[in-house]
Structure 1
Amino acid sequence: MAEDNADDNGSADKAGPPRVPDRRAGGGASRYLRPGDTPWSLAGRVLRSRWRALGDRLGRDFMRRTLRIGVSARIYHPEPGAVGLRSKNLQYLEESIAQWVMSRDVLVFMVPTVNTSGLLHPSNITLRHYARHLDGLVLQGGADVSPTTYAESPSRPEWSGDRARDVYELELLHEFVEAGKPVLGICRGCQLINVAFGGTLYQDVATDLPGAQAHVHEDYDAHRHAIVFPPGSSLGKMFPDQRRPTVNSIHHQAVKDLGRDILVEAMSDPDGVVEAIRYQRAPFVMGLQWHPEFHRAKGTALLDCTPVLDAFLRAARETRL
């Protein structure tokens, strides 16, 4: 009947969205609801609240997830006549490099060489998979880079380097660069970064640069010299109070001709041999000619390179998926 659809003034109800009933008890809407709330507005606020909570949780998980850093493998090649384990190819890392990286509470994984066409244990895993799933790469020190890798012949047989490791690490480096992940090269790793982008090396500093100071010595990691940062160096900005810091020196090869888009970050003093480089077309690809992982063990006189490690790890955090 018409009377059923009229209010106290006799006017008909106007059409509109359904309202949440304002019941005080008995299963109706609660008094704390906003006046004029509808089921749709309430559902919208609930969904937005759930979405914010999910975003907050994902953000916390993203920041809390431990970084995963890969370290390239050193390779032991069996010598003629070797028996037992020494008759096998071995891949390993020097523990100090892993401990240095882990000192910032990150996980370290040694990245092995891969052989997708292997007869014994074929696999579809490639180095690209490691670049996809790890957050950054450290190229550790070790054997010489082979002169054949930068289109030269060894001046002496003992300077022939490790061509097999070069091939493996060059692919690994390029996969991480292509994936937008940061790379930190140590000693040999610094030289490999330069070669990877078309640069060359002095096969032996003492021979090729007779006026240079000694860069390798029987004291091994106890041997040291000073370095300086050229104007505009990002390393110089990390160490604004260090004008002539001291680093260890354990290398007989060194960067010669710079690769494309490679900038010098540090030089030895006073002879000017390149001691650090940066590839400027990537967020973070840097090479240090010295071994920062050995510094703290040799006292406070050597440059504390924790700021370099932190910059590398920040880049890993910022560029990971």
Structure 2
Amino acid sequence: MRIGLSARLLHEPPPVLGFRGKTLQYLEQSMAHWIMSHGALAFMVPTIGEHLGLRRAQISVRDYVGALDGLVLQGGADVAPETYREQPLRPEWGGDRIRDLYEIELLWEFLIQGKPVLGVCRGAQLINVACGGTLWQDISEYVPGAAAHRHDDLYDAHYHEIDLLPDSRLASLYPPDAPRRVNSIHHQAVRNLGSDLRVEALSVGDGVVEAIRGTGAAYLFGCQWHPEFHAKEAGLLDGSPILQDFLEAARLARAG
């Protein structure tokens, strides 16, 4: 399987990196290694834009998607509120509009070609927004009674419990006694659910949406936690069934 990873964008690299005035596109190694550890090849998909001197006649998103079997949307910067028709309530919540547009175009081309899409953290939020939904710009400030979903000091060692909704595909991937504990590294979350999506997991206690799935023919799933960080952590929800389910969808799509 050849799995595409959407690029994280660094628009203003620190001077110490030696790329003054340049934009970096990169992936986080845990995600790539997670995919590779399940027998698939990981390929980062760069942005395509005329401002880079690359004409659409030379290569297109359609060309890239045609060469790949599935797409994983990585975590990273906030989704820009402008992308879901709002204004940022604070300057630091402005997000990355450039990345939003790039990833939404990728997402829809994969679905058009009948190939699966998996979104992680920001990726789950991007799926919701691409389907017409909105986000809470900050959980702690705007969701009454919400638990802490991010801890700057603990980072990926900050955990909480989730409920897998009965009769959901996500719940079917796990035995009833499997751990339901996941990492939590986000301050934004699904507010209004997008079209043709269903909720498959909620945060225990505050009901914040933790997983969503598309109801259409193409495979579309997003989880708010980072399953790629669970590989060696006992007592956490195993991330392997999620990736294996996604890769099986890619194999079926490839077989046609």
- TM-score by length of structure 2 reads 0.94
- 1:126 Cα offset (Å): 1.2
Percent identity between the two aligned chains: 57
- 1:79 Cα offset (Å): 6.5
- 1:105 Cα offset (Å): 1.1
Residue 43 of structure 1 aligns with which residue?
A: none
- List alignment gaps of at least 5 residues for structure 1: 1-66
Conserved 8 A contact 2:13-2:19: no
Q: Size of the alignment, in residue pairs?
A: 253
Residue 170 of structure 1 aligns with which residue?
A: 104
Residue 181 of structure 1 aligns with which residue?
A: 115
What secondary structure, in the 3-state scheme, does the structure 1 residue paired with 2:19 have? helix
C-alpha separation in 2, matches of 1:266 and 1:83: 40
Runs of 4 or more consecutive aligned structure 1 residues displaced over 6 Å after TM superposition: 79-83
Residue 84 of structure 2 aligns with which residue?
A: 150
- 1:283 Cα offset (Å): 3.3
Residue 204 of structure 1 aligns with which residue?
A: 138
Residue 52 of structure 1 aligns with which residue?
A: none
What secondary structure, in the 3-state scheme, does the structure 2 residue paired with 1:296 have? coil
Of Structure 1 and Structure 2, the greater strand share is in 2
C-alpha separation in 2, matches of 1:307 and 1:274: 20
C-alpha separation in 1, matches of 2:54 and 2:169: 44
What secondary structure, in the 3-state scheme, does the structure 2 residue paired with 1:251 have? coil
C-alpha separation in 2, matches of 1:155 and 1:82: 32
2:164 to 226, 229, 238: 229
Residue 62 of structure 1 aligns with which residue?
A: none
2:243 matches 1:309: yes
Distance 1:81 1:229, change over 3 A: closer
2:223 matches 1:288: yes
Highest CA radius of gyration, 1 or 2?
A: 1
C-alpha separation in 2, matches of 1:314 and 1:304: 17
Residue 246 of structure 1 aligns with which residue?
A: 181
C-alpha separation in 2, matches of 1:222 and 1:83: 28
Distance 1:238 1:80, change over 3 A: closer
- List alignment gaps of at least 5 residues for structure 2: none
Conserved 8 A contact 1:186-1:290: yes
- 1:243 Cα offset (Å): 6.6
1:194 to 104, 108, 128: 128
Residue 38 of structure 1 aligns with which residue?
A: none
- 1:86 Cα offset (Å): 3.9
Conserved 8 A contact 2:179-2:237: no
What secondary structure, in the 3-state scheme, does the structure 1 residue paired with 2:192 have? coil
Conserved 8 A contact 1:229-1:243: no
Q: What residue identity is the alignment partner of 2:216?
A: R
2:25 matches 1:91: yes
1:277 to 209, 212, 216: 212
What secondary structure, in the 3-state scheme, does the structure 2 residue paired with 1:85 have? coil
C-alpha separation in 2, matches of 1:134 and 1:147: 30
Conserved 8 A contact 1:227-1:244: no
- TM-score by length of structure 1 reads 0.76
C-alpha separation in 2, matches of 1:246 and 1:83: 37
Distance 1:272 1:307, change over 3 A: same
